[in-house]
Each structure stands twice: as structure tokens, then as C-alpha cells.
Chains A and B, each alone.
Chain A
Amino acid sequence: TANTIPTTIKYLMDFHPAKCSEEPLHLSGCSNESVFEEEPAEDAAKEKAEREAQKQLMATEELVYTEKNYLRLLQVCTSTIRSNLQALQLPNLDSMFLYTEEVIDVSGRLLSLLDQKQVTPRDPLFVETLCDAFLSLSTDIESAYKEYLANYSNVSALENVYKQKESLWTEIIKVIKSSAPEVNATSLTFFLVMPVQRIARYPLHFQTIMKHTDPGHPVYPLLENTAHTAIALNCRINEYKRFREVADKYKKTETLTIRDKMNRLNSHSIAKKTARLSQFIRHETGISPKIVDEEFDALEGFFYLLEDGIATLHDNVEIYLHHLQRFLSCRPEEFDLDMDGEKPAICYKEITTALRQWILPTYEKRMRLLVHKPLCGLRDLLVGPRNLIRKRLDKLLDYERIEEKPSLTYDDQEVANTYKTINTLLLNELPKFNGLALSLLWGMLGAFSSLHKDLAEDMEQLFQGFAQQLPHSSLEPKAFWEWAECSVLEGAERLERLCQDVEEQLNAPIVQPLSPGSQKRLKVLSDKHGSEKIYQLTGPVVGTRDLELSLNKGELVSVISEMDTRGDRRRWLVDAGGPRGYVPSSKLVHYQPVTMDMPPQLTATTTDRAEGFRRHSYTPDIRPRPSDMPRTQPVFAGYDFMARSNHEVSLRAGEPVKVIEPHDKKGSRDWSLVEVRGQRGYVPSNYLVAMPTTTMATSPYH
């Protein structure tokens, strides 16, 4: 089995949009039979280790195969397709291929490093070689891919320009298809998006290898390091892309107006003489100072609003970050339901892994750096002015009192000066404080918006790599959701049917012959309660409380009530042919006595019976009576019977009897006149058993 290429690798190699319909590879089929005999525990562990080793090998091989295929396709695109496109004289064609050389080069070097060491994936040292190769090239990989990714938006924009001219685009597609007929490509970006995809796949590859490696293995730390490096590469490459974008945008002029607006806040006084702000103060402090300084009131009012706003914003931001962390802590992509290489499942896993491993963490980091941290810093600075404002108020009240005095003492003079100093200080500096604080807030909120934009951009870039692989990605939104919801409904219906089938077929009660005692019980219960409410015990029950019955498995009861006096539906009140009481409803299964009009299907062979109609019981009325069989058949007592009158005779199970008459004086075949142990008397006919001449069941009724 190691020779067949697993399904996942095959799909990646062919880039085939059609679904692979091969059966999943049963790895456990690789081990040999002897594993399942003695000592299961030890061998189970060995088997597991073998499976993990196999999976690690698969993952390692996958990395190499996909790299080779990726390189090959890129080369086809940049050499064959490109030269064939020259004839079409497309504008700016060269800029499509701007950084492809570097990417091709570094991929080739990775593969040749592996070749040089002359190890194959099967070698125990291969993983180590792979990690070393990757790590040694990581700087070059970063520089090659960062330029490529930063430029990629230009590539797709240029292709859109080409798409505008239908005739030109048709020609392009013709060239592509003729240059690479085995690949089902319908655009240039089909090839050119591959580096975007590839760099994001490295972390996943290494992590998959890690997943199937024993943490105690010496190569594990190296693997871990490589996986982390791959993630860090992606973070830095994205950062660089943003950096380049920002640098390009700086050339625009309109962006300066926001800067101007913010700067204005610093220099001009925000103190406005609004009645509302003065009221605010009076309301807050409950004190109405005699000396009303409207300008100060306004400044103070603003400060309090600022304080409130900053505190609220700080709390809100912390709540936001808390939920972001909660989101990051979930890992639904790990439960992949073993979907056997189905594209949507794989794409989902890759997208979500990228989102959770570096795209969102980067976003969180920047949020903390550019919003949360300055916000905390700002909040800490509010203490000083707040205290000073309160101090000023106290001093003001003192000042008011002494102002009325005709002459001021030295101490009074001190008080007056203190008040005036504080007042002047606040009047001078509060405007600046308010202005700067507001401008800081503005900057933070601007950053907040920009971070969202970057997050969305990163995700869009990630999606680009997968767009062509999803079967229904070409559907318009409305059509897509219709399809999705429809499929889901169909799936639910199928499930329901399956459930029903399982319930009916597999949980049907067993056909079992009834003993005479059970038959009697059945008759009694049917007469008393009707035959619809008869249930059978699926297991023994033992009553522990008052009114609870103890019964054996297989006993028949009639259900009187499907709940107890307290409404508990788990205890049903039943009649056991005399005693009444409660039994657990979980041990009851409905019993259907079959009537005499049995269709001839009963005589069908055993195989038919399994699939078709399943009997739920049969009464001995249908079994051949000994009295119906030829007299030469030996007859025995099948069960003990206690004679209750002079006309009857007792039987012991197993003793041979001689049937004199197969009916009673009134002609009823329910009783037979027999001779046993020298005595004669009547016994119930169904207590007699006729033994066939051979011990195998050969009568047509079996």
C-alpha cells in the first residue's frame, strides 16, 4: 500500500477541479493479521506508532511533491506561456512577471538542497534535512515572496485590464490552453496566484508533519522552530506589503487635511461659552460658586466629558479584545471530520488556520499597540488635572469667604494667591490638554479603522488563492445560498430516513416462541385490556420501591398508564396479569401478537426473512400440532403440566406420551386425550411436542 499515492497528494498534483471519487486509504489495512491476536494492548501501541509514522511520511512527501509541481507550473507559465504571449503584443506584459524569477529561483534552490543531500522522504534523516534547508533559505524566501506579494495586486489589476477586451482575452486563453494542455487553467492568475498560496501553505505543511511526530523525537524542536519561522515569515511579508502600500499612498495630497484638522485642536481653545457645560458643572458638584468664570466652566466641563469618554472607551476596548481572544481560542479547523481530501474542507482548513495563526494575531497585536496602549497611557494622565480642578474649587470657596472681608490677613493673602495661581494654571493649560487628548483619541480611532482595512485586505488576499478551487464559487450570491440551503435540507431528509430505517429494522424485537405461560398471560391481558397495549420486557427489572414490580426478561404486560402519578414518563403503570405496579419504560418494547391470517411469506426461506417482512411473534397455533402429524411420530411432553381435575392428567416435561385422541369430547383441538405413565387424561394440546424423525428441523414449517 505504500506504493499507491494517497488521494490528497494526487489531487494536489493534478490540480483537478473534479472531485476524487476514490475510496479512502485504509491505513489499518497495512498491518498484518497477527496484530489482532494475543496481547492487544502492546500491539495496538505499536500499530498506532506505525500509523503515525506513515502519516508523517505522507505529509513530508506531500510537501515535496507539491513544491515540485508548483515549481513546474510556474516555470511553464513564465517560459512557455510568456513567450507564446509575446506574439499578442499585450501592453505591460513584462510587469505581470516582475518578481517571478526570484520566487522560482528560491523554490528551485530548496528542492536542489534536498536533492544534494541524496535523501528521500523515506530516509529517517529527511525531515531534519528538510527543516535545515527551509531555515537556511528563510531569509531569501522572505525577500523573494515579500516583493512578489506586495506587487500582486498590480498583477491582478493588469489581468482585469486584459479581460476588458473580449477578443484579446480569448486569444490569451487559447495560448494558455495550448501551452499547458494538461492543466485546466482559464487565466494567467491561475498560475500567478500560486506563490501567494504557496507561502501561506508552508506553515500548514510543517504543522501537519509535526502533528504526526512524537514530541520526544530529537527532530521535534527543529520542526517546531521551522513551523514558527514559516508563520513569522508570513507575518513579516504581510507587514511589508502594508508598508509599501502606505509609502505609495503618501504621495496623495488630500490626506493632509485630516492632519490639519487634528493640529488645529492643539492650538485653538475649545472653550466655548455654552450654557450647557456650565450647567453640567453645577449639576456634578452640587455647588454654585459665587464667582462664575464661564471660560473656566467650559474648559472644566469639557475635561469631565473627556474623562468620561476615555474611561468608557477604555472599558469598551478591553471588552472587544477579550472577545477577540475568545474567538482566537476556538479551533474548529482541527475537527476536520476526516474529509478525505475534499477541496472545500481543505480550503476551509487552510483559510481558518491562516486566520487564526497569523492574520488575526497580527491584528490583535496592532490593536494593543496602537489603540489600547496609548489609551491606557492617556487614562493615567487624567488624574493630575482632575485633582487640581478639585483643589481649585476648594480654594475658590475659601477665596469667596475672605473676599468679603475689609482687610486681608497674611494667611488670607496666601489663600487668595493659591487660588489665583491654580486658576491661571488651569486656564492656560487645560485647553492644550483637552486639545491634545482629543487629537490622540482621533488618531487612535483612525488607526482602529485602518487596522480593520488591513485585516480585510489580508483575508481577501488569502481568499484569492482558493477562489478557483471551490466548485460553486462561480455562482452568484443568491444562487449560491439557494443551492447551499437546498443541499442542507436534502441532507437532513436523508439523515431522517436513515434514522428511521435504523429504528425500524435494527430495533425490531426478536421473534420468539411463547411459552404456554406467556400465551396464557397474553390471552388474559388481551381480554382485559385489548391487544394494542401489550408490551414485552427487554430485560429483567427489580422493584426497589413500593408499587414497583419485579419481572423477568420477556414477560408480557399491559400498559395502563405511560406515566406515574407525578407525571414521570420514565415509569409506566402496567398490569402483569394480576399484580399491578411500575416498571421502567426503557425496558419495555411494544409487542404485536400476530393474527391467524398469516400470509404465506411465513414459509419463505431464511434469507428472505432477513430483508422483508419481519414477524414479531407467532403463536403456537401455527406450529404443527402433534395431533396433526402422522401417528408414527413420537410425542413427548414439552412442559410440566399439573392436572387440575379428574379428567386431566399431569405431565412431566420430557416424558413420552401416547396420543389417544387429538381432541376433547366437544371436539376442541385445544385438548388431547393422552396416555402417560399408565394413566389416561386430558392435557393441553400445545403442551405436547412432536419430535421429527431426524434431529434436524425438516418440516415445511421451519
Chain B
Amino acid sequence: MSWMPFKIGQPKKQIVSKTVERDFEREYEKLQKLEDQTKKLHKDMKKSTEADIAMSKAAVKISGDLLSNPLCEQDQAFLDSMTALDTAMKRMDSFNQEKVNQISKTVIDPLKKYSGVFPSLNMAVKRREQALQDYRRLQSKVEKYEEKEKTGPIMVKLHQAREELRPVREDFEAKNKQLLDEMPKFYHSRIDYFQPSFEALIRAQVVYFTEMHKIFSELTDQIDQAGMTDEQRERENEAKLNELRALSIVADD
């Protein structure tokens, strides 16, 4: 076999300058942070969307269950109000679904895809590291032979070692250069990539809340007593509850 598992120490010649190494680490760190953020953002967006959908469905259930209770039919005006409420909730739910679909397509999916690139990049960085280790090892080997007496067998071994080293060095240099080029480019690409997502997130919500405003302004005019502040509503609720409490049938024996 052409590999012997030598455990040789560090080569004397400085293979990679400190500056280059530092630059590399810095760029890689940025990417790692971006990877972390992308994953977390994806997770959080999914969770938030799920809660959003659940909330909307819960609102539909509130009005739906009420409307299906025969209670409503006992008073025509009340029935009209409940029907209007139910219609409004269902409409809002369908707008919500639309919003969620748009966000899925323009935000959540792109996030996931973006995360999917990192394993390849991480692997490439690992391979570069491996190449660097191999390079160091073979460089040490060459240096070791270079220091020895120049006998025939040593010369042969030195020649072989140099032959082994060359492709490994070239490979490392190619990988290193590529990554040093690609990493900042990729990091910068996030801006163009995600700009549409952020705009879409905002736009989807603008549409949703505009509809909500329209629908509930209408509904509130229809079923709500106007001119009530929160305090007044509270007082009215309390007054009614007190009236109920005053009934003899309410006191529990």
C-alpha cells in the first residue's frame, strides 16, 4: 500500500500562514453562525405558523359550536348575530390559510433549502482539514528525509515522499483557495436570497390584517354595542353578573 500510518509531528515549514488560517476561521465562523440562525429561524417560523393556524381554527370552533347549539334559534336577533359571527370567522380562517400558504412557499421552504447547503459546505471544510493534515504529515516526512545523509535508499525514499506530497499539496491548495473564495460569496448570497422572503412575510400580513379590519368593522357594527370603552364593558358585565347572583335560584345550598 502506498500509505503507511506514520505519526510524524508538525512540519518545520509553515504550510499555511497565520493570516490565512485566521481569515479562514473567521469566514467559517460566520457561516456556522448563519447556519445556526437559519435552522432556528426555520424552526421558530414553523412553530409560529402552527400556532397561528390553530388559533384561527379555534376561533372558527368558537362560533361554529355556538351556532349549532339550538340555543341560538330562541331569538331571531341573536341568531342573526351568531350567523354573522360564524361567517366572519370562517372567512378569516380562509384568509389565514392563504397567508400561511404564501408564507410556506416564500419563506419556510426557502429557509429549509438554504439550511440544506450547509452539510455540503461543512463536509468540504472537513475535507480541507483532512487534506491539511495529510499535507502536514507528508511535508514532515519529506523534511525528515531531507535532513538525512544522502545515500541511495534515502534518495529514493525522498523522491517517493516528494511524489506523494505533491498531489496532496496541490489538492489542499485547491481546496483552500476554493473555500476562501466560496465562503464569503455564499455568506453574502443570503441577502439576495432572503430579501424576497422578508418582503413576502410583511406583505402577507398586511393583506391579512387589512381583510381582518374590513370584516370585523362590519361585524362589530352589526353585533356589538358601540360607544363602549373597556371600562364600561367591564362594568356592564359585572352588573349583569351581580343581577344574576341576586337571584334566589343561583345561591347554591
Interface residues of A (CB under 8 A from B): 28, 36, 239, 242-243, 246-247, 249-250, 252, 255, 258-259, 261-262, 265, 270, 272, 276, 302, 305-306, 308-309, 312-313, 316-317, 319-320, 323-324, 326-327, 330-332, 335-340, 342, 344-345, 347-348, 351, 366, 369-370, 373-374, 377-378, 381, 383-385, 387-388, 425-426, 429-430, 432-433, 436-440, 442-450, 452-453, 455-457, 459-460, 463, 466, 470-473, 477, 480-481, 483-485, 487-488, 491-492, 494-495, 498-499, 501-503, 505-507, 510-515, 517-518, 540, 552-555, 606, 609-610, 614, 634, 636-638, 652-656, 689, 691, 695, 697, 702
Nearest CB in chain B: distance from A50 CB, A? 16
Contact A510 B168 (CB under 8 A): yes
Interface residues of B (CB under 8 A from A): 1-3, 5, 18, 22, 26, 33-34, 37-38, 40-41, 44-45, 47-48, 50-52, 54-55, 58-59, 61-62, 65-66, 69-71, 74-75, 77-78, 81-82, 85, 88, 92, 102, 105-106, 109-110, 113-114, 116-117, 120-121, 123-124, 127-128, 131, 134, 151-160, 162-164, 166-168, 170-171, 173-175, 177-179, 182, 186, 189-203, 205-207, 209-210, 212-213, 216-217, 219-221, 223-230, 233-234, 236-238, 240-241, 243-245, 247-253
Q: 7 smallest A-B Cβ distances: which pairs?
A: A654-B153, A250-B227, A446-B224, A456-B213, A344-B198, A255-B226, A335-B41
Q: In the complex, what residues of A have CB within 8 A of residue B189's CB?
A: 494, 498
Which of chain B's residues has its CB closest to A656's CB?
Answer: B152
Nearest CB in chain A: distance from B105 CB, A? 6
Given contacts A320-B55, A332-B41, A499-B117, contact A492 B205 (CB under 8 A): no
Contact A654 B152 (CB under 8 A): yes
Q: In the complex, what residues of A have CB within 8 A of residue B194's CB?
A: 337, 339, 345
Contact B196 A506 (CB under 8 A): no
Nearest CB in chain B: distance from A279 CB, A? 11
**Bound CA–CA A338/B241 (angstroms):** 53
Count, A-B residue pairs, CB within 8 A: 383
**Bound CA–CA A501/B47 (angstroms):** 33
**Beyond A449-B85, A488-B109, 13 additional pairs, beta carbon < 8 A:** A243-B229, A255-B221, A308-B71, A323-B55, A347-B198, A348-B202, A373-B237, A442-B81, A481-B102, A484-B196, A491-B192, A492-B110, A695-B155
Q: In the complex, what residues of A have CB within 8 A of residue B55's CB?
A: 320, 323-324, 327
Contact B51 A480 (CB under 8 A): no
Contact B1 A555 (CB under 8 A): yes
Q: In the complex, what residues of B have CB within 8 A of residue A540's CB?
A: 5
Q: In the complex, what residues of A have CB within 8 A of residue B178's CB?
A: 505-506
Q: In the complex, what residues of A have CB within 8 A of residue B226's CB?
A: 246, 249-250, 252, 255
Contact A433 B69 (CB under 8 A): no
Given contacts A255-B226, A437-B244, contact A517 B1 (CB under 8 A): yes
Contact A374 B164 (CB under 8 A): no
Nearest CB in chain B: distance from A428 CB, A? 9
Please name 26 pairs of A and B residues whose Cβ atoms are closer than 8 Å in the assembled complex, sorted by A. A36-B22, A249-B227, A312-B66, A320-B55, A324-B51, A330-B45, A337-B38, A338-B34, A344-B202, A370-B233, A388-B249, A429-B247, A436-B240, A447-B233, A483-B196, A488-B196, A491-B192, A501-B182, A505-B178, A506-B128, A507-B124, A514-B2, A554-B2, A554-B3, A555-B1, A636-B152
Contact A348 B198 (CB under 8 A): yes
Partner of B205 from the list A330, A351, A488, A511 (CB cut-off 8 Å) is A351
Nearest CB in chain B: distance from A291 CB, A? 20
Q: In the complex, what residues of A have CB within 8 A of residue B51's CB?
A: 323-324, 326-327, 330
Nearest CB in chain A: distance from B170 CB, A? 6
**Bound CA–CA A455/B85 (angstroms):** 17
**Bound CA–CA A455/B45 (angstroms):** 21
Nearest CB in chain A: distance from B212 CB, A? 4
Which of chain A's residues has its CB closest to B50's CB?
Answer: A326
Which of chain B's residues has its CB closest to A348's CB?
Answer: B198
Nearest CB in chain B: distance from A455 CB, A? 7
Contact A485 B105 (CB under 8 A): yes
**Bound CA–CA A351/B102 (angstroms):** 18
**Bound CA–CA A140/B238 (angstroms):** 34
**Bound CA–CA A539/B155 (angstroms):** 29
**Bound CA–CA A472/B3 (angstroms):** 59
- The secondary-structure label for the interface of chain B is helix
Contact A610 B170 (CB under 8 A): yes
Contact A488 B209 (CB under 8 A): no
Partner of A327 from the list B48, B123, B164 (CB cut-off 8 Å) is B48
Contact B170 A638 (CB under 8 A): no
**Bound CA–CA A425/B253 (angstroms):** 15
**Bound CA–CA A506/B50 (angstroms):** 39
Given contacts A348-B202, A484-B106, A515-B1, contact A262 B241 (CB under 8 A): no
Nearest CB in chain B: distance from A137 CB, A? 27
Contact A552 B1 (CB under 8 A): yes
Contact A473 B250 (CB under 8 A): no
Q: In the complex, what residues of B have CB within 8 A of residue A324's CB?
A: 51, 55
Contact A426 B34 (CB under 8 A): no
Nearest CB in chain B: distance from A122 CB, A? 27
Q: In the complex, what residues of B have CB within 8 A of residue A555's CB?
A: 1
Contact A262 B173 (CB under 8 A): no
Which of chain B's residues has its CB closest to A472's CB?
Answer: B199
**Bound CA–CA A618/B247 (angstroms):** 100
Contact A305 B199 (CB under 8 A): no
Q: In the complex, what residues of B have CB within 8 A of residue A492's CB?
A: 110, 113
**Bound CA–CA A272/B244 (angstroms):** 22
**Bound CA–CA A151/B127 (angstroms):** 64
Q: In the complex, what residues of B have CB within 8 A of residue A387's CB?
A: 252-253
Partner of B65 from the list A316, A374, A459 (CB cut-off 8 Å) is A316
Contact B62 A302 (CB under 8 A): no
Nearest CB in chain B: distance from A618 CB, A? 9
Nearest CB in chain A: distance from B101 CB, A? 10
Contact B47 A691 (CB under 8 A): no
Nearest CB in chain B: distance from A81 CB, A? 28
**Bound CA–CA A473/B207 (angstroms):** 12
Contact B69 A309 (CB under 8 A): yes
Q: In the complex, what residues of A have CB within 8 A of residue B85's CB?
A: 445, 448-449
**Bound CA–CA A440/B235 (angstroms):** 12
Given contacts A36-B18, A302-B71, A507-B123, contact A495 B114 (CB under 8 A): yes
